[in-house]
Structure 1
Amino acid sequence: MKIAITGATGFIGTHLSNHLLEQGNDVIWISRKPTKSNELDIPTFTWSQLQDSPQLLEGTDAIVNLAGESINQRWSDSAKKRIVESRLAAAQALANIVAQLTVPPRVVIQASGMSIYGVSESETFDERSPANVCDFLSQVVEQWERGADLITNTRIVKVRVGIVLGLDGGAFPKMLMPYRLFVGGKIGSGRQWLSWIHIEDMVRLIAHCIDDDRIRGPVNATAPNPVTNHDFGKHIAKVLHRPNLFPVPSIMFKLLFGELSTLLLDGQRVLPYVLQQHGFIFKYPELDRALIDLLLTPPNRKEE
């Protein structure tokens, strides 16, 4: 298949590109800026090129939209504006391009977020749960998904991404650091839920959503066994043989990171109902297995 990816040089996009190429697909990158070359020798079009010549995407089977300003930064007013506008601009541009194609792609995969459900220590959420727009992140996700609805001439899948575990991007390396320094412990109350997913399952499920024509609408990209923040720390400590004795008070996290602290101080117990109904099998359904792969398995063994 021929698959175009926006935001392809980011954490998830890089892993997804490698996975799709290994599966024998042709991959195209859509970028803000022109690039002369890349390590994978992947053809790249800019947004402006595609707006002028949308036919460059004719024959594309799927488009995966991962574009958007990183949320892993302090949320100043200007940062909030960039976070929202970058997502809406990409969704609008993509809708305009797809509308002009003679034959639209079979599917557009739109990145989204599990923050759409709001936060809770007691409730469990899946794709049938209503949206709860109660804070900045849930507002971002709501607007992001509305942007995807502008594409009306093909199948749309909205992948609501959880905390993605990988060593080369996302929040996980920062979460590991205290344990590597022997000062790990729960964050805040420790009771908040952490709905996680291994990066390998993250890209596998996107490929699954591309292939399965029955899947449309929201899809939770989370492993089937979320844990509390306290249990997450206990699992890391066990795998790394480190203590889990030094809690970080909520107030300290809020002082250091401002509103961004909500990513780890608040949480949701989110389950992947749609994926399991459509036969997706997680390679890493349990946290221990995911952590052992990421932290203890040599890179050469992962390729076997």
Structure 2
Amino acid sequence: MKIAISGGTGFIGQSLIEHWIAQGHHIIIITRRIPPNTTTHEHLNYITWDQLDHHPESLENLDALVNLAGASLSQRWTKKGKQRIMESRLTTVSSLSKLVSHLKNKPAVVIQASAVAIYGTSLEETFEETSQSYVMDFPSGVVQQWEDAADSIQDVRLVKLRISVVLGNDGGAYPMMRLPFKLGVGGRIGSGQQWMSWIHITDMVRLIEFCILNPNIEGPVNAATPQPVTNDQFGRAIAAVHHRPYWFPLPSFLLKGIVGELSLILLEGQRVLPSKALEHGFLFTYPGIKEALQDLK
């Protein structure tokens, strides 16, 4: 396959590239600027947005276009930080929409990153792809605008991949979430009853590929395991896998004082199920938290 990736230098993007290069696919990474010391491979090319403005035909006849670009939410939500988070998403989607409109032979599918934050937070509700979005805080507002902007990508099959917490050793939030337990001071955060929807990086990569290869999948797709856990269950699983104590709870007020509004991500959550993926026959390699964490040990 010929696949273009925007945001290919990030955690998920790098895992995708490694997987697809091993399969012999031709990968094009779209970037603002080509980084120094780039990996060289006969099936891997880089192209900048400026180059695409002059030569959009470089992306004719793609089997898939994957957009993972967007500034991380894991930063202090200052006024400038929030602006950077929002603009990084909307600007890239706008550029992709313009690019796709100019292509004569459009991609067979566009995989657009989104997030489970679009459902809002709840201790009681369970969310599936058919659930209503609910803007109740900064993360849900960002994702709602992100998905609305993606609707401007026309005349292609569009998949909005609503990503949960991706667990892996080479990036994302998990290495920092695991660190207190390795140091022997891990425990629940806040009440510990808040839900955490998650997915192993292996299944994240497999699900993106599954959505590309299955022409019947479009619209929202929840990238989350069928077995979400509470924060308390997650912490106990980490402690058990690493044979560390589980006893040092982090009070809500202390976390809020350390990271400010960002604490929303850890103190509130949602129970999200991957109904569409399961309905189409996707099988998770790591459906349960214990086997997932054991693999990442």
For the aligned pair, the TM-score class normalised by the smaller chain equals: over 0.9
> Which residue number in structure 1 is paired with residue 97 of structure 2?
95
The CA distance in 1 between the partners of 2:21 and 2:279, in whole Å, is 27
Compute the displacement of 1:256 (Å). 0.6
The CA distance in 2 between the partners of 1:192 and 1:178, in whole Å, is 19
Write out aligned runs for 1:5-24 (5 A). 5-24=5-24
Compute the displacement of 1:56 (Å). 0.8
The CA distance in 2 between the partners of 1:93 and 1:185, in whole Å, is 43
> Which residue number in structure 1 is paired with residue 197 of structure 2?
195
The CA distance in 1 between the partners of 2:40 and 2:34, in whole Å, is 15
Query: 2:54 is aligned with what amino acid?
Result: D
Structure 1 contact 117–129 (Cα < 8 Å) conserved? yes
Write out aligned runs for 1:233-244 (5 A). 233-244=235-246
| Larger CA deviation: 50-59 vs 207-216 | 50-59
The CA distance in 2 between the partners of 1:40 and 1:158, in whole Å, is 30
> Which residue number in structure 1 is paired with residue 131 of structure 2?
129
Deviations 1:185-216 (A, max 9, x none): 00000000000100010011000000000000
Deviations 1:47-84 (A, max 9, x none): 11112211110121110000111111111100100100
The CA distance in 1 between the partners of 2:135 and 2:40, in whole Å, is 40
Query: 2:256 is aligned with what amino acid?
Result: K
The CA distance in 2 between the partners of 1:122 and 1:60, in whole Å, is 42
> Which residue number in structure 2 is paired with residue 271 of structure 1?
273
Query: 1:14 is aligned with what amino acid?
Result: Q
The 3-state SS of whatever aligns with 2:52 is: helix
Structure 1 contact 20–207 (Cα < 8 Å) conserved? no
> Which residue number in structure 2 is paired with residue 33 of structure 1?
33
* 1:178 equivalenced with 2:180 (yes/no): yes
Compute the displacement of 1:27 (Å). 0.6
Query: 1:225 is aligned with what amino acid?
Result: Q
Compute the displacement of 1:37 (Å). 5.5
The CA distance in 2 between the partners of 1:261 and 1:169, in whole Å, is 19
The CA distance in 2 between the partners of 1:123 and 1:146, in whole Å, is 24
Compute the displacement of 1:38 (Å). 2.0
Query: 1:158 is aligned with what amino acid?
Result: K
Compute the displacement of 1:35 (Å). 4.0
* 1:231 equivalenced with 2:233 (yes/no): yes
Write out aligned runs for 1:1-304 (5 A). 1-35=1-35, 38-41=38-41, 42-295=44-297
The CA distance in 2 between the partners of 1:35 and 1:79, in whole Å, is 23
The 3-state SS of whatever aligns with 2:261 is: helix
The 3-state SS of whatever aligns with 1:288 is: helix
Query: 1:32 is aligned with what amino acid?
Result: R
The CA distance in 2 between the partners of 1:156 and 1:100, in whole Å, is 17
The 3-state SS of whatever aligns with 2:296 is: helix
Q: How many residues align?
A: 295
Compute the displacement of 1:23 (Å). 2.3
The CA distance in 2 between the partners of 1:40 and 1:236, in whole Å, is 37
| Larger CA deviation: 30-39 vs 46-55 | 30-39
Compute the displacement of 1:177 (Å). 0.9
CA RMSD of aligned residues (A): 0.9
The 3-state SS of whatever aligns with 1:160 is: strand
Compute the displacement of 1:29 (Å). 0.2
The 3-state SS of whatever aligns with 1:28 is: strand
TM-score, length of structure 2 as denominator length: 0.98
Compute the displacement of 1:183 (Å). 0.4
Structure 1 contact 35–44 (Cα < 8 Å) conserved? no
1:35–1:175 Cα change, 3 Å:
closer
Query: 2:129 is aligned with what amino acid?
Result: E
